[in-house]
Homo-oligomer: A and B are copies of this chain.
Amino acid sequence: MIIDCHGHYTTAPSELEAWRKRQIAALGDPSTSPKRSELTIRDDQIRASLENAQLKMQRERGTDLTIFSPRASFMAHHVGDESTSREWSMLCNDLVHRVCQLYPDNFVGVCQLPQSPGVRPGSCIPELERCVNELGFIGCNLNPDPSGGHWKEPPLTDRWWYPLYEKMVELDVPAMVHVSTSCNPCFHATGAHYINADTTAFMQFLTSDLFRDFPTLKFIIPHGGGAVPYHWGRYRGLAQDMKRPPLKELLLNNVFFDTCVYHYPGIELLAKVIPVDNILFASEMVGAVRGVDPDTGHHYDDTRRYVDQLAALSEEDRRKIFEGNARRVFPRLGAKSARAVNAAARRAA
């Protein structure tokens, strides 16, 4: 079985974006803001949005289950205030929940958090609890920079974030560190801001004792860990110069990397330098890169092909990357089937 730990609902029906535009247009006068109940999307629209996209690609590529969350670039936590973000997050999470109920074998949910610049992360706890306890979600996406490229929040290792971490630990859910769109013209969103955030978060973890305070807290750093595996020697050396413990001991019980690296040499490097227990299969399809690589004739983001090509990998290691590690890092999935996770949610809801 192959679990893709990183997929966003990038193909949601256009009604979602239209609702969001109305919400943004009403920022000056919240009384005119659309209600969540005003979003009307039929089941057949949801099916159509997935059948020729994520589901088709699952079938074609031979992957089975996608850990699925709202579109990252649309989270846009910088828009409006805390209540703007809460309404939008609930709407997006509810839509992912419907996806999971319609295709309970193909998707399990991960939630967007209603973060807002300068607002204490504890404000996200009610929505995290709702998603986990009522919708059957198994993780969350945590934005280290809700300002969208201005980096005004404290580092992820600051006590600012601790109330949220306490809840994550209690609920036994990991977070994928994932920024949203960039409002800073210096940073292209998917080409710079995403990758920079991954690198930044790792270095924040490296310089802190966060995981001494939260030994079971788990983060996935997406996009192959940003620049980190390519510069693994640099990070080992920096940790050593700072008299930190070796990286393995310092953070590899808590920090994991996905395989969203869109060429074989990158995946090859990832598998060479990062312990196999810390690599989770992912493609981010349908995501940042949608084309076909003329050199291979396959989609750039068909990352299964790159992992399949790793001849040095034992079958046991391959199973870890494709399935076992995801089940370990997302304990609410654990040994269960996606269908069982989603069915339990429906009962609770």
**Residue contact A265 to B232, C-beta cutoff 8 Å:** yes
A237 touches B199 (CB 8 A): no
Interface residues of A in 222-257 (CB under 8 A from B): 223-224, 226-227, 229-238, 240-241
Neighbouring B residues of A229 by C-beta, 8 Å: 230
Scoring A151, A229, A293 by chain B CB atoms within 10 A of each residue's CB, the highest score goes to A151
Contact with B along A199-216 (1 / 0, CB 8 A): 110011011000000000
Asked if A240 and B188 make an inter-chain contact with CB atoms under 8 angstroms apart, the answer reads no
A155 at the interface (CB under 8 A from B): yes
Number of copies: 2
Cβ distance A17 to chain B, nearest Cβ, rounded Å: 19
Interface check A153, CB cutoff 8 A: yes
CA distance A272 to B265 in the complex (A): 7
Q: Do the beta carbons of B186 and A234 come within 8 Å of each other?
A: no
Using CB atoms, name the residue of chain B closest to A290.
B241
Q: Which residue of B lies closest to A238 (CB)?
A: B191
Do A230 and B224 have beta carbons less than 8 Å apart?
A: yes
**Contact A233–B261 (Cβ < 8 Å):** yes
A190 — nearest CB in chain B belongs to which residue? B238
Contact A289 B234 (CB under 8 A): yes
The smallest beta-carbon distance between A332 and chain B, in angstroms, is 30
Contacts of A231 in B (CB 8 A): 195, 223-224, 261-262, 266
Determine if A261 and B237 form an interchain contact, defined as CB atoms under 8 angstroms apart: no
Q: A150-B150, A151-B186, A291-B241 are known contacts. Are A206 and B233 too (CB-CB below 8 A)?
A: no
The digit string for A42-63, where 1 denotes a CB below 8 A from any CB of B, is 0000000000000000000000
A196 partner residues in chain B, CB cutoff 8 A = 192, 196, 199-200, 227
Chain B min CB distance to A318 (Å): 19
- On whether the beta carbons of A227 and B195 are closer than 8 Å, the reply is yes
A232-B200 in contact given A186-B145, A300-B237 (Cβ < 8 Å): no
Report which residue of A186, A192, A227 has the largest number of chain B beta carbons within 10 angstroms of its beta carbon: A227
Q: Are B191 and A203 in contact (CB under 8 A)?
A: yes
Contacts of A241 in B (CB 8 A): 289-291
Residue interface mask A298-342, B partner, CB < 8 A = 1? 001100000000000000000000000000000000000000000
**Which residues of A in the span 142-161 have a Cβ within 8 Å of any Cβ on B?**
144-145, 149-151, 153-155
- Who on chain B is nearest to A268 by CB? B269
A57 to B: closest C-beta gap in Å:
15
- Determine whether A263 belongs to the interface, using a CB cutoff of 8 Å to chain B: yes
Q: Shortest beta-carbon distance, A205 to chain B, in Å?
A: 11
Query: Is the C-beta of A32 less than 8 angstroms from some C-beta in chain B?
Result: no
Given contacts A144-B186, A185-B154, A186-B200, contact A300 B230 (CB under 8 A): no
Set of chain B residues within 8 Å of A14, measured between Cβ atoms: none
A269 to B230, CA, bound (A): 8
Q: Is the CB of B154 within 8 A of A151?
A: no
Q: With a CB–CB cut-off of 8 A, which chain B residues contact A169?
A: none
A276-306 contact mask (Cβ, 8 Å, vs B): 1 or 0: 0000000000001111010000001100000
8 A-B interface contacts by CB (under 8 A) = A151-B187, A191-B203, A232-B263, A234-B300, A236-B293, A237-B262, A238-B288, A265-B269
With contacts A154-B186, A236-B293, A266-B269 known, what are 8 further pairs, Cβ within 8 A? A154-B185, A187-B200, A191-B203, A230-B266, A233-B263, A234-B261, A237-B262, A237-B290
